Structure 1
């Protein structure tokens, strides 16, 4: 995972550790043989300097990895929004075709078929408009609508239940809310895409329970074991094929921990449940 981000920085870090080990080895050897005091002192100072260099590089590497992970997450969200816009443009493009069909049915007097066709169109529009349209958080509303469009495009049955309590969404910054919900949904979508078409089902639940915000994402899953549970939130771990960094769930765990919350994983009745519980706080500026 580190190599994927910054190979040059990583090799520099390894080189500094190697130099540090060499210096400490020399210092250890000098403790058994007689050498000039000035040389021993010089080696000791070099050892202390190498410790400072290694700590600096380690902190810099960690910060750089975090920045790259955030950038990758933001890029994914931009891609989601682009897909949503593309879907909306496609619907506008199809509108002319729908009008032509309605006109032809009305002209020929096929009233029953016309009514059924209009009902189908109305239902499709209602489903699109109702998804998170009344959420008090515009960022979360936009995210869920984008994910709903992606789910429809992939043939995933996506259900969303949420609280309309404004205080629940003010308990954390919008960007962190988006990271948590977005990464959990991305993970769920990727997992159900491995299943047959009729088994692709994902549920999102946002609720307020006992002064806590509960974020739960569930997806159909045919196999899960304790070994997978142990590694789910380890950075770099992934069960997906292709170019996946394996950072999504580790980002979720990090953000939940930041807000002093808990993240649990359960497997029940063919569904894998990721549940994040975060204490409600005073409103913060997003």
Structure 2
């Protein structure tokens, strides 16, 4: 499996250097131990051997310092790559929002023209049916109107449009306005967006895809928590995977494997909790608790 991993990114290149440094340091330590073994080198006190030991110690310390520096750089590179991935997903969502708004604009104009035509024809019964159909169509897109976080409202608006295009039964229940939700805008979009994306992918494996999103706030043990639940039918998660699904690069859908890793990283940053259940009967449910 490891032979299939590409090492073209900067962080992976630094990882290779780091591994090389650790191997070199380990080799030098073995040499140093060997040189200080009197059984192997009886003339250990001679200036020649003392000089070799001194050089080995200096080189070993130098390599050790390089290893520490590379560990720090590798950590920084990994954080930067994660941030870039988060920003890319955020920009993708913004682009989809613009496209959805443009599409909705044209749809509303068409609906208004039809309503105007039916009014002119004085066809009250057909007008009533048409308005009822429009109401049923746009209702899912306005179930989250009470949200005070504009980025979350925009995200759900986009996802509702995508769900409509893909014939996904998408329902949203908002029980709190999320005004004091502690995550920044990009983090909030990435967390909820990745969960919904995964839910869409899994649900589409079912002949009647369904996705349900619930945003709430609850009190537990004297503390307040924001609750995000995303439920879907379709593909389930094998029980033996456990927390492996949150590992960076791990995927069961041939994707980049960053979605749940990013979600878990954000949850951990805010000392939150993430859990999931998955079964054929109830589908897959991801539950996130973020302390206020």
Tell me the TM-score normalized by structure 2.
0.82
Aligned partner of 2:132 among 119, 122, 126: 119
Question: 1:38-117 counterparts in 2 under 5 A?
Answer: 38-99=51-112, 101-102=114-115, 105=118, 110-117=123-130
Aligned to 1:146: 158
Q: CA deviation at 1:273?
A: 1.3
In 2 relative to 1, CA 176–86 (structure 1 residues): closer, same or farther, beyond 3 Å?
Answer: closer
**RMSD across aligned positions (CA):** 2.6
Aligned to 1:206: 215
Aligned to 2:262: 251
Aligned to 1:23: 28
Aligned to 1:5: 9
- 1:185 aligned to 2:190? no
1:263 aligned counterpart, secondary structure? strand
Tell me the TM-score normalized by structure 1.
0.83
1 CA distance for matches of 2:137 and 2:232?
23
- 1:134 aligned to 2:146? yes
Contact 2:28–2:60 (CA<8 Å) still a contact in 1? yes
Aligned to 1:276: 288
Q: Which one is further off, 211-220 or 21-30?
A: 21-30
1 CA distance for matches of 2:119 and 2:177?
45
- In structure 1, the gaps of 5 or more residues are 281-286
Q: Which one is further off, 53-62 or 157-166?
A: 157-166
Q: CA deviation at 1:30?
A: 1.7
Contact 2:249–2:258 (CA<8 Å) still a contact in 1? yes
Aligned length: 274
Contact 1:236–1:247 (CA<8 Å) still a contact in 2? yes
Q: Which has the higher contact order (CA 8 A, sep 6+)?
A: 1
- In structure 2, the gaps of 5 or more residues are 42-47
1:232 aligned counterpart, secondary structure? helix
1:36 aligned counterpart, secondary structure? helix
Question: 1:165-244 counterparts in 2 under 5 A?
Answer: 165-166=177-178, 169-196=180-207, 198=208, 200-210=209-219, 211-241=224-254, 244=255
Contact 2:231–2:285 (CA<8 Å) still a contact in 1? yes
Contact 1:236–1:246 (CA<8 Å) still a contact in 2? yes
Aligned to 2:44: none
2 CA distance for matches of 1:70 and 1:190?
23
1 CA distance for matches of 2:186 and 2:117?
48
